[in-house]
Structure 1
């Protein structure tokens, strides 16, 4: 027997479609015309009465965190979104938007899930992360990677949800579950670039004012409408609303996310900082008329680009015993993954008190076992070596313990210090570059220490949900 909630949902959906008049809207869309949608106040009241029922259901659930979080958000109807829900930060509060056309097609469990989905984006600071990464990654890759991360923690997903299984099938990948946002973003972006074509998907019948179908490339557009606010203030506000939402026990994965949120220092993790630095050394490009512009291949008036500059990158590793083999192998693997699409040459420098060995690498297979040494650490020999080379970037992995002052002044290249998981801080008082922390990695033994997982705040932690 149909419940009162189901009857109300169908009534509101049919009334919305009647007002929107999809046929007229599609005609306007094809003509490139706007189609304004206005709803009576009575409809808005009835719609939010239904949303309130969903909110109460969330509060009664064992994961009542989401219900209390939603209770503190402003709720707004808008028809121009290509998703059931979306969020932004306006007027010192989080706003959650609902597109009735898409939202009312869901059952109550799916409605709860799409609300949880938005809250997980907020707690994960994806609104900030997405904005920071737009210059380096496509909107499609960012949106898909973020959705893959949060959707792994949710049940009763809408049929169109972007899941790990969907990505693996669509792009013929073998992405692993419960990895970091950065892991998915790099893999998806690389696949999109390799295909060298836009995601074709299904045609979306929508215009500037009305959307009736899901479109992953536009689902987070409302994030760009958020008020300008510094990251530290937004983080503190999010912490406060998250604290106010904890009225009982919360799932382990959510507890880990909130812990990560509170540990955020408002800066890029080391691997994304490398990506950012690589963008600065790829400035020298030359035009070619023999290659079409990749983003606009039909524009014959636009010339393509060939990289005319080979980036010289040095990766220095402190071999005095302060960094584990697991940490270094994982780190160099990430560096190689980041720079693989650039015209580059990488040199590995092994050093303790002096440089013991240098060699070139093109892939992880070229990385040699480190020379065994038990000596102390001095950083200056590496910079003496670098000053005599035409480097663009030096990445130095160390536990941070060495001289307080370099004996030579670095010249003409970017520097990134990466402090190992066992290290605390860099001893050099004037580092001449950025200093980042290396995420800890598991050692070879089959022992998992959940306190040793990534907690840099930009991922959901590598924890599977414990139901």
Structure 2
């Protein structure tokens, strides 16, 4: 993509380099420029840290000539919008373009938008903008030459600020330095604010666009951000973002069990087989190269606690949701019904193969028999639906597979001190007394409408 990308980028800049009014822009320029952004998006997805690429896929994109940075973001109508100033953006290399997009997404994940609003009662825009950018840019490579960095600000204002501190620390130090210089500054009207097009970077105005964001409380903004994050986590998350994302998930909206299962399915390793029906992703113009399809089989064991703690609605809904998730993969599912021991164990190829649940008089639950069974199979993923009440310690150690515990709506927590897997909680569902023995029942606790992000 290198030479093609550079040629396309340069041709776009040549079209506008001598223009001074938006009205004079070529008719198809905006459309062509957004094609370039799509190319950058795919470059991000091809990165080792492709979380940013998947996050960008969900954002609206607009061109805005009067911003003083290559990119900017705000939040409007339940969506994050990323803006591009072509004059500044097209002067960057491909790697710098990727870096500026990562820069904006990092601002979003840090909730700088709301935090900056609080600080504006005490600090200047310049101090806030530089502080935010210092926090973000310490984690990024291939920065533009004009980027605000810790070293450049320490040198410019004779400061000794420490690396990897919070935004509030930096803004306080910078503001004190600016106050010492204030008497040297002459106040004059900024004539450039009347210009339609900005062609140079200005640190004091880089986040002015945030003023146009939809007013929204912090908790609601976090909920919207988490929905973007959940879908972006199909990509590889940079190490420096992991703690931030864990903190976000821990505030309120943990990743739902079914979306977590989707993520687990995507991480299964396996052989890839060549196919002549698909072109190579990396070299699509090479017709002599065959593409690849995932050739592995996802072997899933689905354990259902039938001790009386899992309702018929939850039982039916669990199986239906699992089949809905794995349908795009080559898969084998083994269904186990268990309480203190395994009551039924059989393969299910479709939802119509599921047998009537074993009758049970209720009673306790033991997890160990299931793990004993699964240890002697080639299972990739064990999904265990239970109310969580069982042993405190497993009698065996799980071997070579991932475990997802799903605690029923009437359950509280898992009794095991060491779960050897991930624990997720279901939303409660209404328990119906006249439940029929049918699989196609739709229940709130397992409906994709409840768990999938809705825009």
TM-score of the two chains, using structure 1 as the length reference = 0.51
3-state SS of the aligned residue for 1:238? helix
Matched, 1:257 2:244: yes
Q: Which residue of 2 aligns with 1:52?
A: 38
Q: Which residue of 1 aligns with 2:13?
A: 13
Q: Which residue of 2 aligns with 1:245?
A: 232
Give the superposed CA RMSD: 2.2
Q: 1:37, 1:209 within 8 Å by CA — same for their partners in 2?
A: no
Q: Which residue of 2 aligns with 1:219?
A: 206
Q: Which residue of 2 aligns with 1:210?
A: 197
**Equivalent residue runs for 1:328-339 within 5 Å:** none
Aligned length: 249
Q: CA deviation at 1:74?
A: 0.5
Q: 1:37, 1:79 within 8 Å by CA — same for their partners in 2?
A: no
Q: CA deviation at 1:249?
A: 3.4
Structure with max Cα Rg: 2
Q: CA deviation at 1:76?
A: 0.3
TM-score of the two chains, using structure 2 as the length reference = 0.52
Question: Which of 102, 116, 128 is equivalent to 2:102?
Answer: 116
Q: Quick one: distance in 2 between partners of 1:11 and 1:169?
A: 37
Q: 1:84, 1:103 within 8 Å by CA — same for their partners in 2?
A: yes
3-state SS of the aligned residue for 2:48? coil
Q: CA deviation at 1:104?
A: 0.1
In structure 2, stretches of 5+ residues that fail to align are 253-455
Q: Quick one: distance in 2 between partners of 1:5 and 1:39?
A: 21
Deviates more, 1:150-159 or 1:181-190: 181-190
1:170-220: CA deviation from partner (whole Å, max 9, x where unpaired): 0011111111111111111111112224779xx996644210000000000
Q: Quick one: distance in 2 between partners of 1:175 and 1:124?
A: 20
RCO higher in structure (CA 8 A, sep ≥6): 1
**Equivalent residue runs for 1:192-341 within 5 Å:** 192-197=178-183, 207-262=194-249
Q: 2:126, 2:203 within 8 Å by CA — same for their partners in 1?
A: yes
Q: Quick one: distance in 1 between partners of 2:87 and 2:191?
A: 14
Q: 1:211 to 1:70 in 2, by over 3 A?
A: same
Q: Quick one: distance in 1 between partners of 2:177 and 2:12?
A: 41
Q: 1:199 to 1:59 in 2, by over 3 A?
A: farther
In structure 1, stretches of 5+ residues that fail to align are 22-34, 266-467
Q: 1:162 to 1:7 in 2, by over 3 A?
A: same
**Equivalent residue runs for 1:356-371 within 5 Å:** none
3-state SS of the aligned residue for 1:196? helix
Matched, 1:164 2:145: no
Q: Quick one: distance in 1 between partners of 2:143 and 2:149?
A: 9
Q: CA deviation at 1:230?
A: 2.0
Matched, 1:64 2:50: yes
Q: 1:164, 1:175 within 8 Å by CA — same for their partners in 2?
A: yes
Q: Quick one: distance in 2 between partners of 1:117 and 1:250?
A: 15
Q: Quick one: distance in 1 between partners of 2:136 and 2:92?
A: 19
Question: Which of 131, 137, 142 is equivalent to 1:145?
Answer: 131
3-state SS of the aligned residue for 2:81? strand
1:92-125: CA deviation from partner (whole Å, max 9, x where unpaired): 1100000000000001000000000000000000
**Equivalent residue runs for 1:394-413 within 5 Å:** none
Q: 1:54, 1:112 within 8 Å by CA — same for their partners in 2?
A: yes
Q: 2:71, 2:83 within 8 Å by CA — same for their partners in 1?
A: yes
Q: Quick one: distance in 1 between partners of 2:155 and 2:130?
A: 14
Q: Which residue of 1 aligns with 2:4?
A: 4
Q: Quick one: distance in 1 between partners of 2:68 and 2:101?
A: 15
3-state SS of the aligned residue for 1:3? helix
Q: Quick one: distance in 2 between partners of 1:108 and 1:206?
A: 29
1:283-304: CA deviation from partner (whole Å, max 9, x where unpaired): xxxxxxxxxxxxxxxxxxxxxx
Q: Quick one: distance in 1 between partners of 2:23 and 2:220?
A: 35
Q: Quick one: distance in 1 between partners of 2:140 and 2:134?
A: 10
Q: 1:204, 1:215 within 8 Å by CA — same for their partners in 2?
A: no
Matched, 1:98 2:84: yes
Question: Which of 122, 126, 129 is equivalent to 2:112?
Answer: 126
Q: Quick one: distance in 2 between partners of 1:198 and 1:184?
A: 22
